[in-house]
Structure 1
Amino acid sequence: MTRHARQLSLGAFLMETGHHLAAWRLPDADPRDGLSLPFFVRIAQTAERACFDTVFIADSVAANVGHGAHRANRSDRFEPLTLLAALSAVTSRIGLIATVTTSFNEPYHVARKFASLDHLSGGRAGWNLVTSDNAAEAGNFGRTAHFSHAERYERAREFHDVVTGLWDSWDDDAFVRDQHSGIYYDESKLHVLDHRGPHFSVKGPLNISRAPQGRPVVVQAGASPAGRELAAQTAEVVFTAHPEIESARAFYADIKDRAQAAGRTRDSIRIMPGLSVIVAKTRQEAEDRHAQLQSLVDPEAGRALLARMLGNFDLSAFPLDGPLPDLPLTQSGQQSRQKLLSALAGNEQLTIRQLYLRIAAGRGHFSVVGDAVTVADAMQEWLERDAADGFNVMPAEYTRGFDDFCALVVPELQRRGLFRTHYEGRTLRDHLGLARPAPARRPIPA
């Protein structure tokens, strides 16, 4: 094997029985897997044997309810940090990334929890910083309406700065724990944040020593102008959705340019689009699996998924075989995903039914159905044409679909020198090629 000039980063995006909307209805699926620790242990250990950089868990702090939602399996799931803490005990190398919203949490809690996970895992934690895009979450936290899009991102930026400031509460060697002298920590190496800002007032310091990685890896997933700017200034990894390579290339260049303009190097940020994948030994077998899944999509579940992805709109009054209606720009959902799906429907003249079937597997992410060579060819093209630094892999079905990806695609990528054959480091930063940050002694902007 000849090592390629660049190698891919790979994340395993965990999602109950699979990313396809109908995966839970397959005859060999267990719809209870979303609350099965052995299920997630098996996936994480499979991903680690395949040398994946990380496993990743998305999250929402609201149940999936509303028109058609009772026909989809997205309403009962583990809290992600609790699950990743358990997975940290049964893995030793793979990274552990969880989504936690800045809209309905407090910075001190988030800083402490991720620092704890980094210690528990020996330096493998990552925080996917998001602003909630589910309007239903507001009612669970004392609000009658969601934050506006602009306010969500203003709050997120301050939230990030407070969390990273708290992670730098202590120098790396502050805790001497000297039993002979009786000195537990060196006071000169303690740094009190004492933040006062428009959204948060946080005294500090954090009540846990500095994390093994210095700071857990910060991940971001926004693609609106505000989301891109936040990512360029704060993120070390960006998860993103693009159905085709040209939009992904434009996004990739934009984020790297913005990061450079913010005083960062282009290599300091890794861009990992989602990859919705169905792979089998032959193209025909993969296409047959895809057809089986598509046949199991319930129309009301499909409409509910589309309504949610378009920005929390009610589509129940519109005929499934009619066109997508003109919708105002969402203020409670993902503006970038709304624009992506609306453009897809308009460009291809898709009906509501055709559009929800198009996104049933990947929710607007890049999708590939085929054999290992087909999938590897697509991944290599995206890497070499600067559309991606890696992928957040989204199997249509767990566990068979992910087992097949690891057994078929990963060896093909390794044969081409595009992916590691063994871990060379122990931390998530090591896997991603990210530097360990020194403690920052900077004022937090008000």
Structure 2
Amino acid sequence: MPKQIKLAAHFPGVNNTTVWSDPRSGSQIDFASFEHMARTAERGKFDFIFLAEGLRLREHAGKILDSDVVGRPNTTTVLAALSAVTSRLGLAGTLSSTFNEPYEVARQVSTLDHLSGGRAAWNVVTSPDAFTGQNFRRGGFLKREDRYQRAEEFLTTVRELWDSWAPDALVGDKQQGVFVREVGRFVHSGPQFDIEGEFTLPRTPQGQPIVIQAGDSDEGREFAAKSADVIFSRHGTLEDGQAFFTDVKRRLAAYGRSHEDLLIMPAATFVLGDTEEEAHEYAREIRYQQVRPATAIQFLEQVWRRDLSEYDADGPLPEVDPDPDAEPLTWGRVQLHQDNVETARKWRALAEEKKLSIRELVIEATTRQQFIGTPQQVAHTVNDYVQSDASDGFVLVPHLTPGGLDEFADKVVPHLQELGVFRTDYTGSTLREHLFSR
């Protein structure tokens, strides 16, 4: 029997993924935008909708990065509102374990799970820079290993709070208005957190909300293998996906878990056309809209850590090498390149091999997993990735907000259903049932 594909929709916000200058692109703040995408995802029988969260506006060379602003309303507030206009769609939100506290996050996510009837998910992330920390009283900066130590204990503590109520704790005399027999008493003492008290909410409809982890680093993979239900990753080819899939799944046995206990769902974009040629031409147009000349130079400056504003984006790479000792020019985004000099060497080789300009190189180097073709071709390609163990499904990132998901839901999903690899209707009411029903 073929594997059943898992699908999620990512509301991307204003950044270099979204073609935010397109007249069809809507507001990133108006609730109607969130509602539109959520209703589309539910119409398409998706597992969940996924919101990232920007804790500070990104800056480049001391100015707000207008082509890559991740600014939006509070994640849990938006998801709570979406719970009122959907009935089956899962609701996943990102909350940092670096600048929040366990009790606060446990209460927020538990509340969302109760309000939605068991559809909440928490994407656990770490925040890597002191620049973002300036928005918080605790502030500061944590090294990578320290961030993951905090994150691991953070998640353990949250789960202790969720489990502090017995399943049958909410009982009592309805006429007398007395319902609580045993409240959620908790005590946690560890290197990161030393707290005790009473949790305010009983166990949620899911027992525990779904936990998602985003990250491709070795620490992130191990964290996901130990603790997560879903890992949100990125890879660009079938072979890379299979390697990631194999590596993460093999780690599960060390924690007494099976392959089915952790779902791997990479981010992916898609472009559809009436013909394959039309789809590829449209995809090329989209990438050039996403990577404008100024955007290309800014991307290059992230690696070079030099002012390259005098260079022509349609010209060759700078002859000068990156300055590895300089301060970053971009603040507020994850630094994906740990060795800038080595990254520049690889980019030079790629540019020379394919005769690429700066802009063409940035497009080549930053393109994430893409599915391009007719709706039927895309359905078959998505299915091929899942059946060949490159993933368990995908988190789709449309290039238009909020209407970019419509085509996939209306044109690709029916082909997946015809292949017998995607649901024709929801069979459960909770997100955990969507993701893990056998």
Question: Normalised by the shorter chain, which TM-score bucket?
Answer: 0.7 to 0.9
Among 171, 191, 195, which residue is 1:198 paired with? 191
What is the alpha-carbon distance in structure 2 between the residues aligned to residue 195 and residue 166 of structure 1? 9
Conserved? CA contact 2:16–2:67, under 8 Å = no
Match of 1:444 in 2: none
Question: Could you report, residue by residue, the CA deviation over 1:86-109 in whole angstroms, capped at 9, with x for unpaired residues?
Answer: 100000000000000101100100
Q: Which amino acid aligns with 1:265?
A: S
**Counterpart in the other structure of 2:307:** 316
User: d(CA) in 1 for partners of 2:39 and 2:130?
Assistant: 35
C-alpha distance in 2, partners of 1:121/1:325? 52
Superposition pairs for residues 40-119 of structure 1, below 5 Å? 40-67=34-61, 69-72=64-67, 74-119=69-114
TM-score, length basis structure 1? 0.86
1:332–1:14 CA distance, 2 compared to 1 (3 A)? closer
- After the TM superposition, which of the residue ranges 418-427 and 176-185 deviates more from structure 2? 176-185
Deviates more, 1:337-346 or 1:61-70: 337-346
The CA distance in 2 between the partners of 1:143 and 1:328, in whole Å, is 29
CA RMSD in angstroms comes to 2.9
Could you tell me which of 4, 8, 24 is aligned with 1:28?
A: 24
Aligned residue number for residue 38 of structure 1? 32
Partner of 1:393: 396
* Partner SS, residue 24 of structure 1: coil
Cα separation, partners in 2 of 1:410 and 1:233, compared to 1, 3 Å? same
Separation of aligned partners in 2, 1:49 and 1:135? 41
Check 1:405–1:337 CA distance in 2 against 1; reply closer, same or farther (3 A cut). farther
- Number of aligned positions between the proteins: 421
Corresponding residue for 1:258? 251
- Segments of 5+ residues of structure 1 without an aligned counterpart are 436-446
Q: What is aligned with 1:441?
A: none
TM (normalized to structure 2)? Answer: 0.87
CA distance in 2: counterparts of 1:230 and 1:128, whole angstroms:
12
SS in 2 for 1:170: coil
2:283 paired with 1:290: yes
Identify the match of residue 265 of structure 2 among 261, 272, 296. 272
Superposition deviation, residue 346 in structure 1: 6.0
Distance 2:436 2:109 in 1: 20
Structure 2 gap segments, 5+ residues each: none
* Whole-angstrom CA distance in 2 between matches of 1:231 and 1:157: 10
Question: In 1, Cα distance between the equivalents of 2:194 and 2:139?
Answer: 23
Question: Does structure 2 retain, via aligned residues, the 8 Å contact 1:224–1:335?
Answer: no
d(CA) in 1 for partners of 2:420 and 2:323?
46
Q: Of residues 154, 157, 162 in structure 2, which corresponds to 1:159?
A: 154
Shift of 1:85: 0.5
Task: Give the match's secondary structure for 1:391.
Answer: strand
Match of residue 177 from structure 1:
172
Instruction: After TM superposition, give the deviation of residue 357 of structure 1 in Å.
Output: 2.0
The 2-side partners of 1:45 and 1:200 are apart by: 39
C-alpha distance in 2, partners of 1:96/1:193? 27
CA contact (8 A) 2:54 2:70 kept: no
1:303–1:315 CA contact under 8 A, matched in 2: no
CA-CA distance at 1:386 after TM superposition: 0.7
Displacement of 1:289: 2.8
What is the one-letter code of the residue matched to 1:130? V
State the alpha-carbon separation in 2 of the partners of residues 57 and 277 from structure 1. 18
Q: Deviations over 1:7-32 (max 9, x none)?
A: 10000011237x754611113333xx
Question: Whole-Å Cα distance in 2 between the matches of residues 306 and 165 of structure 1?
Answer: 44
Distance in structure 1 (CA, Å) of the matches to 2:294 and 2:35:
32
Tell me the percent identity.
36
Q: Any idea what SS the aligned residue of 1:100 has?
A: strand
Is the alpha carbon distance of 1:398 and 1:282 closer, same or farther for their aligned partners in structure 2, counting shifts above 3 Å? farther
Separation of aligned partners in 2, 1:27 and 1:148: 42
Q: Tell me which moved more, 316-325 or 162-171.
A: 316-325
